[in-house]
Amino acid sequence: NRIVSRHRSGEEYQNNSAALKVPKNTVASIIIKCKKFGTTKTLLRAGRLAKLSNQGRRALVKEVTKNPMVTQSSSVEMGKPSRRTLQHSTNQAFMVEWPDRIHS
């Protein structure tokens, strides 16, 4: 709340972060969030979280293209996804990247 009020008064990100002893990136993300949603509170969101993040999915696809015999023991992220999750994620990713190829 203090960050947003200081920003509205015309203070720059750097001065704002120095005065409040908060990183510049944090100040910027709070201001962007306030501009986008009109509040700095964490809002509810719909849907279940994905088992693999987009970053994890990209890493998995990269690993599979190098070595098609990737197994469950492959460490993509901190959490070890199940074999079915790996299959589903790679199939979905390949369908998006190479729609003309058929993968089972």
pLDDT greater at residue 35 or residue 95: 35
For position 20, what pLDDT does the model report?
93
For position 70, what pLDDT does the model report?
61
CA-closest candidate to residue 7, choices 24, 65, 37: 24
Q: Which two tokens stand for residue 65?
A: 């293209």
- pLDDT tens sequence across 24-79: 999 999 999 999 999 988 888 888 877 777 787 778 777 777 776 665 555 554 46
Whole-angstrom distance, CA of residue 65 vs CA of residue 99: 15
What is the DSSP secondary-structure string of 37-90?
Answer: HSSSSPPP--SPPPSS-HHHHHHHHHHHHH-TT--TT--SSSS---HHHHHHHH
For position 57, what pLDDT does the model report?
77
- At 17, the amino acid letter reads S
For position 65, what pLDDT does the model report?
75
- pLDDT tens sequence across 4-19: 999 999 999 999 999 9
Q: Which two tokens stand for residue 45?
A: 């969101």
